[in-house]
Amino acid sequence: MIVVMKHNAAEEDVARVTDKLEQMGYGVHLSSGENRTIIGVIGQRREEAAQTLEAMPQVEQVVFITRPFKLAGREFHPDNTVIPIGEDSVGGHELIVMAGPCAIEGEEQLMEAASAVKEAGAQVFRAGAYKPRTSPYSFQGLEQEGLQILEKVRSETGLQIVTEVMDQFTVNEVAECADIIQVGARNMQNYYLLRELGKIRKPVLLKRGLSATIEEWLMAAEYILSGGNYQVILCERGIRTFEPYTRNTLDLSAVPLVKHLSHLPVIVDPSHGTGHAHLVPAMSKAALAAGADGLMIEVHPNPEEALSDGPQSLDPGQFRELIKELKGVALSVGRLM
């Protein structure tokens, strides 16, 4: 349930209600908007508890939430969540672009890629040090060495870094390097990892699972939010269907639907969503038109030589042209790039 405080409720009034809730054995999460404070209450539904709370003078009403995702839902947090990313943000008026190669292959490759995406206009550099691969014989990433190279990229370019964490045991190690910690599609329902990410205070990019429903995706976000980390960015990256002509089926209808259900920002990964570089420009434009708050695009200096996901990667020239085209789309939907 949620407790809606009156417009004139002071901080001590909110504290009085939260103290009462904790005495009743509930978990408490605050959402302070421009007009009023909403208290998210986690625990068993009890009518008598609601009646007690509504009797308190600064409580306007108590509302029971029927959807299973409480903290991720708009009932708890009606305003859009805006998450600072360095000097930029995601979820606000300006769109954000995360770009870079799928995997870190070496320092020279990474520096070349980082310089290219920054020059084109990307604010965040993406690259994987740890790579979850379907085949055990595929390139698995440079791991700790890769993280060290990423730190050098940030130091020399000023770009923010997003990179993937594989399990709960390496969260702190990745968090020391990353400005945004990515949870890949295969780990969306790794609940031990999600709980650990709820303890940190850094943005988490949560990719939709390979065959996850919208509700399962938002419930995964709920694990992180319930741990106290409210900086969750959702990423639609395509789901598995019967269609063989694309790597995945990019579900762009998920963008406006999730933004209707949830206050969390949503970005789109058209590279994994399609698996083909020639489809990335069209799907990038469509994603912005659908209301996405940003994009994650794979860019490699030499896609034909990439150790991972070369067929879906743009080269620097293609990425530069795409950014120019996207600026016009952004303006048409009232956003800025």
d(CA 174, CA 143): 10
Q: Distances in Å between the alpha carbon of 183 and those of 86, 213, 217, 335?
A: 20, 16, 12, 27
CATH topology of domain 2-63: Alpha-Beta Plaits (3.30.70)
Domain boundaries, the chain: 2-63, 83-332
Q: Strands 266-268 and 204-207, how do they pair?
A: unpaired
The helix (run of H) or strand (run of E) holding residue 14 is helix 11-23
Contact predicate 94/66, CB 8 Å: no
In 10 A of CB 315, how many CB atoms? Answer: 15
Q: Does the pTM exceed 0.95?
A: no
| Domain 83-332, CATH among 3.30.365.10, 3.50.50.60, 3.20.20.70, 3.30.2270.10 | 3.20.20.70
pLDDT tens column, 83-107: 999 999 999 999 999 999 999 999 9
The CA angle 150-155-158, to the nearest 5 degrees, is 100
Mean pLDDT of 229-255: 97
Over the range 147-160, which residues count as b (16 or more CB within 10 Å of their CB) and which as e?
Answer: bebbeebbeebebb
Task: Choose the weakest-confidence range: 36-50, 53-67, 278-292.
Answer: 36-50
- DSSP calls for 165-206: E-SGGGHHHHHHH-SEEEE-GGGTT-HHHHHHHTTS-S-EEE
- State both tokens at 335: 């956003």
Structure confidence at residue 130 as a pLDDT band (50, 70, 90): confident
Contact predicate 185/213, CB 8 Å: no
Give the mean pLDDT of the chain.
Answer: 94
Structure confidence at residue 229 as a pLDDT band (50, 70, 90): very high
- What pLDDT score does 177 carry? 94
